[in-house]
Structure 1
Amino acid sequence: MKIAAGQINPKIGDFKNNALNILEESIKAYKLGVDLIVFPEMSISGYPPMDLVNYDSFVNKNIQSLKWLQDNLTADIAICVGYVDFNSKLQGKRLVNRAVIIHNNKVIYSQDKTLLPTYDVFDEARYFEPGTVRTFFEFRGKKIGLAICEDIWWNHGEFSDKEYPENPVDDILSHNPDLIIVPSASPFYSGKTITRMEIVKDISSKGRCSVLYSNMIGANDNLIFDGNSFVVNSDSEVIAVAKGFEEDLMVVDLDSKLTIPEPKYEKYFEIESALSLGIKEYVRKCGLSSVIIGSSGGIDSALVAVLAVKALGKDNVKTFAMPSRYSSEGSRIDAKQLAENLGITYDELVIEPMFDSFLDTLSPYFSGTEPNVAEENIQARIRGTLLMAYSNKFGGMVLTTGNKSELATGYCTLYGDMAGGLSVIGDLFKTEVFELCYYINRSNEIIPKNILEKPPSAELRPDQKDEDTLPPYDILDGILELYIVHNKSLEDIVTEGYDFETVKFVLNLTARVEFKRNQVPPVLKVSKKAFGNGRRIPIARSLTEV
């Protein structure tokens, strides 16, 4: 029996094209002799549709598209597709997250998702009624079970303390299946590909059955889907792996005795691929084709420019340097050199006259005070205004360049460097930014060496350095990771060897600027815990209970 994973990139709400893509991939698979092809979770509607499912018109159109697919699939191939359906029961939520098997223009099997995640970025229990029955279907002499995405994460979870009260896979395994298929829309974070494979191999080992895991590719808003679909045989050996971060049709013969070496997933290769895919998909699905970046000559804007070129091509990336009285000549040279290395357009917009005008206007009110963050932020806000004005006039999306360390501690300016449509590296700590840049430069000096070696600075006052007011980044990021990603308290973090006063300072900084993070553009998620809808903290709260 030949099976396949149709690793496709659905767009949310684009029912016609999603269904057409499924049909075309199914026909392609049929011509390759495939008996059964499995598409990702919610491949008809796109994932996650969020509150769009509250509109009956959205649900009805997705059902109509499924029926169109059912009527037009004339090839002798079974397909597994996911969509949103109405709950036919009298009780519970009005909708279900459903996958069906279509063959010979008929739905021959249907399965509702049982485990509805509500942690991190997920909120499926808000919309869907869980499935209560897990059985199997028979096809081409094989007994086949179906588990939708989270249904295989029963006691693994993305957070170690999470365990569901029931295990859908146990029900499926009780029928002694030959094959379990897993349509999935599993968002990427660093290290997750290995975790998925371990879970699937455990299931295969327990049931002595083959498992096909078909994952979505692409990106929707802040979520990136990496693909990396795969198949393990009944001996828990990997026999096929699809491409990562691109569409693919993975075909494998279940009766083949051939195995392949387990793939190695390099952290910064994956992160670079994920972020560039996130840019490409967000810009494209928002109906745009180009981006604009404020290039300071610093490491953060340099990294964003490199990722944007990889995502969109050099002709669709424009950078502006916007020097002020505090900008060093070296930074201007570095920003220009970066643009030359990348082959992208580069211009300078000198902000000094505008800065002077702001200071003159405010001088009656600022008289007698010492310059501080107020004057510094004026420069950032001028820059943000110029970038957004250019975007409004000529099109293109402004990409913000702040990293996770800055977003955590508030070292970013509302309506200034936070202005834009997408936060590209807002889920990378500063230390990770450096590591990714060194990875990018592993063969050629794409990012000028001087950018990597000079001390980080916002250059908003004379001789400014980040470490004037922040702990060294290796210490800062260690504290932030424990607090933000692992939910450790002040006392817990101190027991890890960090200084009490330093930890208290950092956590209080983080708490004070929650209002800023509520106004940040979507942050591309590449870690277990990113800022955005996966981390929900009250803005107005006590700062001492951290």
Structure 2
Amino acid sequence: MMRILRIALAQVNTIVGDFQGNAALVRRGVEAARDAKADLVVFPELTLTGYPPEDLVLRSQFIDDNLKVLREVVRTIKGIAAVVGFVDRGEDLYNAAAVVSGGRIVARHHKVFLPNYGVFDENRYFQPGKQASTVVLNGITIGVNICEDIWYPQGPTFSQALVGDAEVIVNISASPYHRGKLRFREEMLATRARDNRVIVAYANAVGGQDELVFDGNSLVLDHQGRTVAHGKAFEEDLVLADVDADAVVRVRQHDSRRGKQRLKLQRQGVHVDRIVLSAQHRTARRRPVDEGLPAALNPLEEVYRALVLGLGDYVRKNGFAKVVLGLSGGIDSALTAVLAVDALGASQVIAAFMPSVHTSRESQEDSEAMARNLGIRLLTVPIAPMFGAYRAALAPIFKGRRTDIAEENLQARIRGMLLMALSNKFGWMVLTTGNKSEMSVGYSTLYGDMAGGFAAIKDVPKTLV
């Protein structure tokens, strides 16, 4: 009989610091995986704290709470094995993964490669792990590592597969999205699977956290680098896959390089701890998993889904229910309004049209049509009286100077002031509508159209809008 491992990847949307909410996600994921008769359920990086916890990690109470909720969750995990991300504390702090079985932690992996570039700052908070390990579950050897660990060809995956005889590599991740990354990441994982003759199960986080968006797209790849299971993009999912460990053994038997490479690593002092939970494989009676692969998103849909998820999560995770934005009749504010409706629902979006003496009738008609088509509430607040009052107040000071950008910016600042007044009065978050091209060259007004709580299209160039 083939040694089949059923893996469940619980692609969940965590909230930084919400220990009880994140623990509830783990419990629900464990229950769903158990119902699916999975042998192992895998959660993303730093599941219990949320990612990235940043300076919260520097608070000892935060670490205590994370370890307390880990103990509570571990006690409930029975009848299935699980991999859960948390912050471990020993001589220092570690970005860690707990392997749980029978209501106890049987192994821990400390992240070896700590990213410290771009949006990452993990060297500030964590020490790198030093020791790799494998766990034998139901007669199948599994290596666990974390996010960046698998991006390095000579990283833990290499030693776990070669010295530790891992037939399956489980990688828990919080890999943020950017354009073009999905294909690059899948190709990298496929390379690791092929090079190491190993099955790769990659569980990625999903959801928005501040300026980051995690896209999900969890993957299971066979030892030839072929994708056999694929999580949904930009939404929570439970990804199931049956993987054949015997296929790994068969292909390794024909690879003469492995013995030489293993001996070389062992001579270098590389050692992989081995924890045996169940050495003999027991075949489970269950129907094979055959979920198929989802259709790939086209490039524009991919970006749009990322924007919707990032906007919606930023609003909700910061405790807001409704948003307000200035609607001008232009394309940037129109796109922002559509994103907000798709992220939150039309009833949660309010638009403000704030005409001046320079506003065209077409702009008003377009704004009214946009609001009507989206089904959102439109407030009309003329700014001409306020603009006149500002000019009159400044006239003695500006006397003798020609009208220039100072007066032009007054209009944007009046609109920003009105939007913030609506926010203060009604508790609505203000969405700004500037795109990346404008932001990058400073084509915006400080304390004017830059005023707000979230810039929905700040990373979208005008050519993409």
1:171 to 153, 159, 162: 159
Deviation at 1:235, TM superposition (A): 2.1
Q: Which letter maps to 2:222?
A: N
1:404 Cα deviation from its structure 2 partner: 0.6
Q: Is the 8 A contact 1:290 1:397 kept in 2?
A: yes
Report the equivalent of 2:189.
200
**Distance (whole Å) between structure 1 residues aligned to residue 132 and residue 438 of structure 2:** 47
1:487 corresponding residue in structure 2: none
1:87-102 correspondence runs (5 A): 88-89=90-91, 94-102=92-100
Q: Give yes or no for contact 1:146–1:182 (8 Å, CA) kept in 2.
A: yes
Shift of 1:167: 2.5
Q: What amino acid sits opposite 2:146 in the alignment?
A: I
Partners of 1:135 and 1:171 within 8 A in 2: no
- How many Å apart are 1:213 and its aligned residue? 0.7
Deviation, structure 1 residue 262: 8.1
Q: CA deviation at 1:263?
A: 4.9
Q: TM-score, normalised by structure 2?
A: 0.87
Give the equivalent residue in structure 2 for 1:480. none
Partner of 1:380: 412
- Aligned pair partner of 1:11 in 9, 15, 22: 15
TM-score by length of 1: 0.75
Paired with 1:38 and 1:425, the residues of 2 have a C-alpha distance of 33
Q: CA deviation at 1:288?
A: 0.9
8 Å contact kept, 1:238–1:260? no
Letter in 1 for 2:357: R
2:121 maps to a residue whose letter is D
* Structure-2 residue corresponding to 1:32: 36
Q: Note if 1:83 corresponds to 2:71.
A: no
- Which among 129, 139, 142 is matched to residue 141 of structure 1? 139
CA contact (8 A) 1:237 1:259 kept: no
Structure 2 residue 377 is matched with structure 1 residue 345: yes
> How many residue pairs are counted as aligned between the two chains?
417
1:321 to 2:333 alignment: no
Q: Which residue of the partner structure matches residue 44 of structure 1?
A: 48
- In structure 1, distance between residues paired with 2:382 and 2:444: 21
CA distance in structure 1 between the aligned counterparts of 2:45 and 2:290, rounded to whole angstroms: 28
Contact 2:111-2:128 within 8 A present in 1 as well: yes
Separation in 2 of the partners of 1:431 and 1:262? Answer: 29
Report the alpha carbon displacement of residue 322 of structure 1 after superposing the two structures with TM: 0.4
Identical pairs, percent? 44
State the distance in 2 between where 1:231 and 1:265 align: 18
> Any residues of structure 2 matched to 1:266-415 within 5 Å, and which?
266-415=298-447
8 Å CA contact 1:113, 1:147 repeated in 2: yes
Distance in 2 between residues matched to 1:263 and 1:319, nearest whole Å: 35
Q: Distance in 2 between matches of 1:179 and 1:168?
A: 13
Give how far 1:261 is off.
Answer: 5.9
Runs of 4+ that moved beyond 3 A: 255-263
SS of the counterpart of 1:118?
A: coil
**Correspondence list, 1:399-438, <5 A:** 399-433=431-465
Task: Tell me: CA distance 1:38–1:297, structure 2 relative to 1, closer, same or farther (3 Å).
Answer: same
- What secondary structure is seen at the aligned counterpart in 2 of 1:57? helix
Q: What corresponds to 1:237 in structure 2?
A: 226
Residue matched to 2:247: none
5+ residue gaps, structure 1, are 156-165, 434-546
1:173 maps to amino acid: A
1:105 paired residue number: 103
CA apart distance, 1:325:
1.4
Per-residue deviation, 1:169: 2.4
Q: Distance in 2 between matches of 1:259 and 1:288?
A: 37
Determine the C-alpha separation between the residues in 2 that align with 1:67 and 1:278: 31
Which of 185, 199, 207 lines up with 1:218 in the alignment? Answer: 207
- Alpha-carbon spacing, 1:258–1:27, altered in 2? closer, same or farther (3 Å): closer
Distance 1:313 1:293, change over 3 A: same
What is the SS of the residue equivalent to 1:430?
Answer: coil
SS in 2 for 1:128: coil
Q: Which amino acid aligns with 1:18?
A: N
Gaps of 5+ in 2: 245-287
SS in 2 for 1:431: coil
Distance 1:71 1:231 in 2: 28
